[in-house]
Chain A
Amino acid sequence: MKRRITQLHPFTVLCLAVFTVAVATAASVWWLSCAVIVMCLAIGAVAGKARKLAALSGAIMLPTLLSLLMIHGLASRDSSPVIAAWGPISLTRGGAEVAMMLALRTAVLVVVGLLCGLLIDKHQLVAAIDLSPAPPQAGYLLASTLFLLPQMMEKQHAIGEAQALRKAGTGRGLAGWLQRLRLRAVPLVLSSVQDAHDRSVHLAARGFPARGEHSRLRQVADSQIQRGVRWVALLCSVLVPAAILVPFGGAA
Chain B
Amino acid sequence: MMDMEHRAPVESTSALHLRLGSFRYADADHDTLRAIELELSPGSLTVISGDSGSGKSTFGGVLAGMLPRQGADSCEGTFILAGQRIDYSPEHSPRIDVAGWARHLGLLPQDAGLYLSRIRQTVAEELVFARENEGMPRKEMTELITEFSTRLSLEHLLERDPSKLSGGQERLVALTALSAANPSIIVLDEPLAGLDSTATATVTAMITRLRAAGTALVVLTRTTEAWEAEAETLLTLADGTLRPATRTARTAASSSKPSGFAAAAASEKPLLAFAGVQLGYKGASAPVISDLDLEVRAGECVGLAGANGTGKTTLLKAAAGLLKPIAGKLRVTAESGMLLQNPSDQLFERTVTREIAFGLPKKGLQRARVPRILEQLGLASCAQTHPYELPASARRLVALATVLVREPRLLLLDEPTEALDPAGLQILNEVIDSVLERGGAVLFSSHDERFIARTAHRVHRMPRQ
| Cβ < 8 Å to A, chain B residues 116-159 | 117-121, 124-125, 128-138, 141-142, 145
A206 B117 Cβ-Cβ under 8 A: yes
B125 A217 Cβ-Cβ under 8 A: yes
CA distance A165 to B345 in the complex (A): 11
Nearest A residue to B121, CB-CB: A123
A161 B358 Cβ-Cβ under 8 A: no
CA distance A250 to B128 in the complex (A): 58
CA distance A216 to B98 in the complex (A): 21
A214 B347 Cβ-Cβ under 8 A: no
Q: Does B322 contact A (CB under 8 A)?
A: yes
1/0 contact trace for B87-130 toward A, CB 8 Å? 00000000000110110001101010011011111001100111
* Number of residue pairs A-B, CB distance < 8 angstroms: 128
Q: Does B388 contact A (CB under 8 A)?
A: yes
Q: Does B163 contact A (CB under 8 A)?
A: yes
A187 B345 Cβ-Cβ under 8 A: yes
Nearest B residue to A146, CB-CB: B119
1/0 contact trace for A30-41 toward B, CB 8 Å? 000000000000
Nearest B residue to A204, CB-CB: B98
CA distance A219 to B138 in the complex (A): 9
Q: Does B317 contact A (CB under 8 A)?
A: yes
CA distance A68 to B322 in the complex (A): 46
Among A155, A161, A186, A202, which residue has the most Cβ atoms of chain B within 10 A? A202
Say yes or no: A209-B320 contact (C-beta < 8 A), given A144-B118, A162-B340, A219-B138.
no
A147 B163 Cβ-Cβ under 8 A: yes
Q: Does A177 contact B (CB under 8 A)?
A: no
Instruction: For the complex, count residues of A whose C-beta is within 8 A of B.
Output: 49
B119 A144 Cβ-Cβ under 8 A: yes
| Cβ < 8 Å to B, chain A residues 158-195 | 158-159, 161-168, 182-183, 186-187, 190-191, 194-195
Contact partner, B320, options A126, A165, A168, Cβ 8 Å: A165
CA distance A194 to B344 in the complex (A): 11
1/0 contact trace for B401-437 toward A, CB 8 Å? 0110000000000000000000000000000000000
B133 A199 Cβ-Cβ under 8 A: no
Say yes or no: A161-B134 contact (C-beta < 8 A), given A151-B163, A187-B348, A190-B388.
no
Contact partner, A208, options B133, B138, B342, B403, Cβ 8 Å: B133
Q: Does B64 contact A (CB under 8 A)?
A: yes
| Cβ < 8 Å to B, chain A residues 194-236 | 194-195, 198-199, 201-210, 212-219
Nearest B residue to A212, CB-CB: B135
CA distance A198 to B100 in the complex (A): 19
Say yes or no: A202-B388 contact (C-beta < 8 A), given A162-B345, A191-B344, A217-B125.
no
Nearest B residue to A187, CB-CB: B348
| Cβ < 8 Å to A, chain B residues 260-276 | none
Q: Does A241 contact B (CB under 8 A)?
A: no
Q: Does A136 contact B (CB under 8 A)?
A: yes
Q: Within the complex, what minimum Cβ distance (angstroms) separates B348 from chain A?
A: 4
B348 A202 Cβ-Cβ under 8 A: no
Nearest A residue to B65, CB-CB: A205
Contact partner, B348, options A158, A186, A212, A213, Cβ 8 Å: A186
Given A144-B118, A144-B119, A215-B131, 9 other A-B contacts at CB below 8 A?
A136-B133, A165-B337, A166-B346, A166-B359, A187-B346, A205-B107, A207-B99, A208-B117, A213-B135
13 A–B contacts from the bound complex (CB under 8 Å): A148-B118, A158-B340, A159-B345, A162-B340, A165-B320, A190-B347, A191-B344, A198-B111, A199-B118, A207-B102, A207-B130, A209-B133, A216-B138
The 5 A-B pairs with the shortest beta carbon distances in the complex, nearest first, are: A207-B133, A213-B135, A143-B119, A207-B99, A206-B130
Chain B: residues with CB nearer than 8 A to chain A? 61, 64, 66, 98-99, 101-102, 106-107, 109, 111, 114-115, 117-121, 124-125, 128-138, 141-142, 145, 163, 177, 317, 320, 322, 337-338, 340, 342, 344-348, 358-359, 388, 402-403
